[in-house]
Structure formats: C-alpha cells, structure tokens
Amino acid sequence: MAEAIGVDLATWQGWETGRRPLANMKAGALLNLRRRLLVLGSDPHVLHLLDPAMDADHIISATLHPEPTAPHPLADWVHTRDTAHMLAWALNGTTPLALTRGVSLARRGPVAKAPLLPAPDRSAFFSQLRETADSAVRTGESGLLLHRQALYLCSYDQTPEATSWVGHAVHVRRDLIRARGWTPHWSTARSTAAALARLGDRRPLLDFIDRALVDDDTAETANLNYWAYWLGSIREPQPDDGFMRHGTGDWEPVRLFRGLAGGLQQAPAYADLYVHSLWALLTTHRWLPLADHALTDTLCAHTAQLLDHDEISPRARRELSAVQYVLRSSRT
C-alpha cells in the first residue's frame, strides 16, 4: 500500500496505527491521498467518512486534553450524524451504518474490531464531557450549542453514573422540555429529550413532541431543518443552531425522506419523533413516495408492522396511519 500510494513504509504504518493523524497532513497531501485511494478502488462512501472521522478525533482529543485558550470544537459548529456515529464507534464500539454494508475481509494477526478507546480513556472522556456541559450552562446564551451537543454525547455513556447525571441535568432544566412551541432553547430541549430516549426514558421525548412541536409552524420547520442537516440533506456546515428556525432554503426532500424512513427502522428509541417528522414531511410533500417506489413499499410494510404493536403512543399511531394512507395512495 505504501508503494501504491507513493509514500514510505513508516508513513503508511503511522497512518494505520494512528501515530500520524491524517488531520495533521497538509491539505493538498490529504486531497491527493483521497483521490489516490479512489483510483485504487476504495468505496466512495467510506472515503466520505474520513472528514467526520477526523472531526470525531478532534472532539475526543479536545475533550481529553483541553487547551485553556482554545474553544471546544462542539462550541464552533453543529455536528452531524456521521460525526456522532464515528464517536459512537470509538466510545462504545457501535459500527457506523455506512460501514456495516461493506464486506468484512479477514486480516492477518490480531486486529481490533473497532477503534474503541481504552476503558480509562472512555471514562475520562465522559467525565470531562460532563464537566464541559456543566460549565457551558454557566456561560449563558453563548454556551447553548456546546451544552446541548455535549449533553447529547453524554448519553453514549451507558454506566449508572452517566444515567444518573443526565437525569439530574434534565430535572434541573425540565422547563425547557415543557415549554410550548418555539423558544430560543428549543434545540437544547430537543437534544435533551433525545438523550433521555437513548437512555430508555421515552416520556420527555413524547412531552417534547406534544408541547414543543405540534401546532407550531416555526417549531415544525426547525425540526425538519435539523433532520435535513443531521441526515445530510443540508450539506453546508452550520456554525450554530440559527439555520433550524430560518432554514437554508436548499435541502433535498427525497434525501430527507430516505433518511427518516431508514431511521424509523434503525433507531426504535426515537420512533415517535421519526413518525411525527415523516408525517410532517409527507403532509407538505405528498409526492415524495413517488420518488422511490422500492423505499415506499418497504416503508409501507414497516408501518403496518408498527401499527400492530401496542408500544407506540396514541399520537404516533394516528400519525403513522396518516403516513400509511399517503404511501398506499401513491401506489394506486
């Protein structure tokens, strides 16, 4: 590989072992590396993950070894699902969905199944991240983005200590989830409710949908804009949460439809939010099922299965029935 790429063996070994982070390369050299890997047959979808992987490395490094004069990377931009999945890969060993579709080839010698951080580093990461979230709250409005993103990532820690801490953090700021409609703290309330759902408590997310989404056009727009960014339908990086309320004016409805449909099957903890978001999207874009007939058929079958279960909320059941009606109408 070193010969094929055109570098010396020590450089290639340094990249493989992490001794030489790709993020430390010159921009031109990194661009050439990516293009050379593409020519050699690398999966373009995997190459696309190099950016979120380097973002995840940066977040982990900045959390474990904070620099007093440098802002935390979670305070400077809104991270995406790809970055979150890369973080989850390092923090709890969950393989990103984009990498589960490929063929896993056997390799010689002992090879780690995931780039999982050692247990002491994971413990230190989450401990420092909780401190970061707490300190961000004390900085007021300027710390909102850092607080909500750090709080959400804290839910990746499944230890009893973490669950207790997130529960306390929410109890202190329960007014955020109970607020009605759009507020300046809407995105924080959404991330907080999602974090609790990840830890097994669905009630705050149900309350958030009922109070902070339903019957509020600004909040419904913000929700779809957030999903569009999270799922890659908005491709431009966003420095703060302002785009949620005002939108970028340029996101791809079909890509969002596919992302929400996939998430409904892959992330049952957030099923109620996925259902409501699909319902809102199809209410304003009823033509979407015609854009992907195979996906529409799959989603129609999955919604039928969900309606046969008693675990979904009454609101989700009503909205899922409406979604199924739109899907079936497009097939006639």
Q: Which two tokens stand for residue 2?
A: 């070193």
Q: How large a percentage of the chain has pLDDT more than 90? A: 51
Q: Which residues contact 98 (CB under 8 A, 6 or more apart)?
A: 45, 46, 48, 49, 82, 85
Query: What's the whole-number mean pLDDT along residues 192-201?
Result: 84
28-43 pLDDT tens trace? 989 999 999 999 998 8
For residue range 100-144, list pLDDT tens digits in order: 766 566 667 777 778 889 999 999 999 999 999 889 988 888 888
Angstrom distances, CA of residue 275 to CA of 15, 97, 212: 42, 20, 15
Tell whether the model's pLDDT for residue 248 goes beyond 70: no
Check: CB of residue 80 under 8 Å from CB of residue 230.
Answer: yes
Select the more confidently predicted residue: 45 or 176.
45
Q: What is the average pLDDT across 163-172? A: 74
Average pLDDT, the chain: 88
- Please give the helix or strand (H or E) that residue 174 lies within, else none: helix 174-178
* pLDDT of res. 200: 83
Tokens, residue 217: 């056009």
pLDDT tens across 207-241, in order?
999 999 998 999 999 999 999 999 988 888 999 99
pLDDT score of 272 more than 90:
yes
How far apart, in Å, are the Cα atoms of 171 and each of 83, 136, 139, 176, 284?
28, 17, 19, 10, 35
How far apart CA 141 and CA 283 sit, in angstroms, is 34
Is the per-residue pLDDT at 192 higher than 80? Answer: yes
Instruction: Count helices and strands (H / E) in the chain.
Output: 19, 0
The confidence band for 311, taking pLDDT boundaries of 50, 70 and 90, is: confident
The Cα diameter of the chain in Å comes to 62
pLDDT reported for residue 188: 87
Which uninterrupted H or E stretch holds 111? Answer: none
Cα-Cα end-to-end distance for the chain: 53
